[in-house]
């Protein structure tokens, strides 16, 4: 997702319009918080399994329902679901690029579809399925919830009060 989002940022910056720069700033802020939250979630999985294979916690939504909620919120934000700041940034960038060259709709559509596809795939493979019975998993700690809240709350606050 970082490559796709930064590709949009670079393309929008190259057009050099006020709308393009506004969309760039929105998307960079949103991507920074969203991707950081997703990396924090991956690290929380690592701390429990001591493996970087996210599939080890397949089916974790059963024993970690709040962590599954964090995964869903972060993934939906990463996919630029309305009314998230990611959506606003991508919408402004898409408008800027379409105004510059209407043929960019093809590339933008393919890129958005691929991003949504692999984000949904990541969410489904990490949260759904059968959990391995041989794992001894400690519960989530308050500091982990606080860390994730401090990533997601700014995104929500920017949506509700953008100025």
pLDDT digits (tens, 9 = 90+) for 78-94: 999 999 999 999 999 99
- The token pair at 47 is 């701390």
User: How is residue 55 annotated by DSSP?
Assistant: G
**pLDDT, tens digit, 9 for 90 and up, residues 3-48:** 889 999 999 999 999 999 999 999 999 999 999 999 999 999 898 8
CA dihedral 13, 148, 122, 64 (to 10 degrees): -170
Please count the structural domains in the chain: 1
| Structure confidence at residue 76 (pLDDT) | 94
pLDDT computed for residue 71 by the predictor:
95
Q: Which domain holds residue 27?
A: 2-160
The structure's pTM equals 0.90
């Amino acid at each position: 997702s970082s490559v796709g989002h930064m590709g949009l940022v670079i393309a929008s910056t190259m057009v050099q319009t006020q709308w393009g720069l506004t969309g760039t700033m929105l998307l960079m802020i949103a991507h920074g918080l969203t991707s950081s939250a997703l990396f924090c979630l991956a690290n929380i999985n690592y701390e429990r399994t001591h493996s970087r294979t996210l599939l080890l916690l397949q089916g974790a939504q059963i024993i970690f329902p709040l962590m599954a909620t964090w995964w869903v919120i972060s993934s939906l934000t990463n996919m630029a679901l309305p009314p998230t700041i990611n959506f606003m940034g991508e919408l402004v960038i898409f408008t800027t690029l379409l105004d510059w060259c209407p043929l960019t709709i093809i590339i933008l559509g393919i890129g958005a579809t691929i991003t949504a596809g692999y984000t949904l795939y990541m969410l489904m493979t990490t949260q759904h399925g059968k959990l391995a019975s041989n794992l001894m998993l400690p519960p989530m700690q308050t500091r982990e919830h606080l860390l994730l809240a401090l990533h997601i709350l700014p995104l929500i606050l920017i949506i509700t009060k953008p100025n």
